[in-house]
Structure 1
Amino acid sequence: MTDYLRAVIDMIGPSNDFRPDAAAWLRLEGELGRSLPEDFKAIADRYGACQINHHLNLLRPTDGWWDLGTWMRQISRLWSQEKVVQQDVEPRLDPRVIFGLPEITFGSAQGLIPLAGTDQGHLVFLAPQAHGVPDGIAVMNREGEWAGYALSFAEWLYRYLAGEEMFGGDSAVFYPGPVHREHFPAGPGQGSRVVHGPPRGMADSAVGPAPARSERPRP
């Protein structure tokens, strides 16, 4: 059985910015009313605040300018004001069905909690369940379409970096070579810092069967 947290760390590479802050996570989890996945916290502690492979932004609750809790609240407020369930949507594409929720809410233990996003408009959430599996991954792409993955965050991220369709149908993009990581400026007058991971071969037999998901059928 693959240890996806270890696999993600091996793929992205070492970090000189590893700053775990258990108290900061406890404060954030107290605000949310539930704990966050340990693998997500471990990855965020090791690499945030940064952009991975040119698009995926990863934050943590210890970064001043780039505070995960602030971003979570902003995203939750924004999407709480938007219509997120399309009228007459098919049940298999309905986020209420995918995530087992009577209504879609954001930023609380009973709803979807923002974990990460991309500069292309895609969002990644922690869901109470996805396809009946506890603590699944919910994604919404820039067209407002939903997909659910019965995966841990670490496995979702590993598969995303391996070029699988992790934002619904036709979303696969693979960047060959080492993982590109750009750390955001820590304060005024500071620049970003680019780091590359180790060489990798992506013909990886450790990646198992395709994850469970719901998505729009291809034309």
Structure 2
Amino acid sequence: MLGPPENRYADPTAWAALEAELGLALPADYKAIVDGYAPVTVNVHLSLAHPATEWWNLAKTIRDTSEAWSRTRWQHDWAEGSLSDPRVICGVRDLAFGPRDGLIPLASTDRGDVVFLAPQAYGFSGGICVACGDGDWAGYPMPFAEWFYRFLIGEDMAGYKSAALYPGPVQLEYPPMGPGDQGRVAYGPERSW
């Protein structure tokens, strides 16, 4: 759906450094998508960073986002056992953000959604938990690649009524990577519906 990967910044050393900092290995499917295409904004909404770049750096994004979410004072106003309670989704008593036992930010959208790798999502190890832009949370017991595919085909992958289906080829917007760089837009192959 995205076309052949460009692997512009594929660098095992950058992944090894990031994973050493996190104290865990990130999912292989996620790393393959990021290596193939990132930094990129997909279909106008979903942004992916890369660990081997100075601008749009994944390690910095994970650190900064985890720190910001860790400083948030959580209003535990979810109904007991609510399906939008991230603690229920992730099977934890308290929320944590960042390495090892917490939610790790993988991607974000321009609508305020943050896509996290969860220790578990509804019992699925390494599933996806999304802090939705509307304040709700949603869990997806599946690997990142499946979540991403479903996002691209227009399913609700950031909570209720969150679908963003764009017929035709997937748009890949590559941001500027330094001073004077204009960035560019590319498209995946035609899709048949």
- TM-score over 0.5 for the alignment? yes
Q: Residue 18 in 1 paired to residue 8 in 2? A: yes
> Given the alignment, which residue of 87, 93, 113 partners 1:122?
113
Paired residue for 2:129? 138
> Given the alignment, which residue of 158, 182, 185 partners 1:191?
182
Paired residue for 1:105? 96
When the two structures are aligned, how many residues end up with a matched partner?
A: 192
2:122 & 2:77 partners in 1: Cα distance? 21
Give the % identical residues: 48
Q: RMSD across aligned C-alpha pairs, in angstroms?
A: 1.2
Shift of 1:17: 4.3
Distance 1:88 1:131, change over 3 A: closer
The within-5 A match list for 1:1-219 is 11-84=1-74, 86-91=76-81, 92-202=83-193
Q: 1:12-35 CA distances to partner (integer Å, 9 max, x unpaired)?
A: 112334332111111111111111
Q: 1:93-139 CA distances to partner (integer Å, 9 max, x unpaired)?
A: 21111101121111111010000001111110000001111110000
Paired residue for 1:6? none
SS of 1:66 mapped into structure 2: coil
Distance 1:83 1:89, change over 3 A: farther
Paired residue for 1:207? none
1:127 & 1:106 partners in 2: Cα distance? 9
CA contact (8 A) 2:9 2:53 kept: no
Distance 1:72 1:99, change over 3 A: same
Distance 1:71 1:162, change over 3 A: same
Q: 1:19-74 CA distances to partner (integer Å, 9 max, x unpaired)?
A: 32111111111111111000000000010001000010011101111110001111
Question: Bigger shift: 15-24 or 136-145?
Answer: 15-24
CA contact (8 A) 2:78 2:85 kept: no
Shift of 1:141: 0.8
SS of 1:181 mapped into structure 2: strand
> Which one-letter code corresponds to 1:109 in the other structure?
R
- Provide runs of 4+ in structure 1 moved above 6 Å: none
Which ranges in structure 1 are unaligned for 5 or more consecutive residues? 1-10, 203-219
SS of 1:39 mapped into structure 2: helix
1:181 & 1:84 partners in 2: Cα distance? 35
Q: 1:166-204 CA distances to partner (integer Å, 9 max, x unpaired)?
A: 0011111200100000101110011111000000023xx
2:164 & 2:78 partners in 1: Cα distance? 30
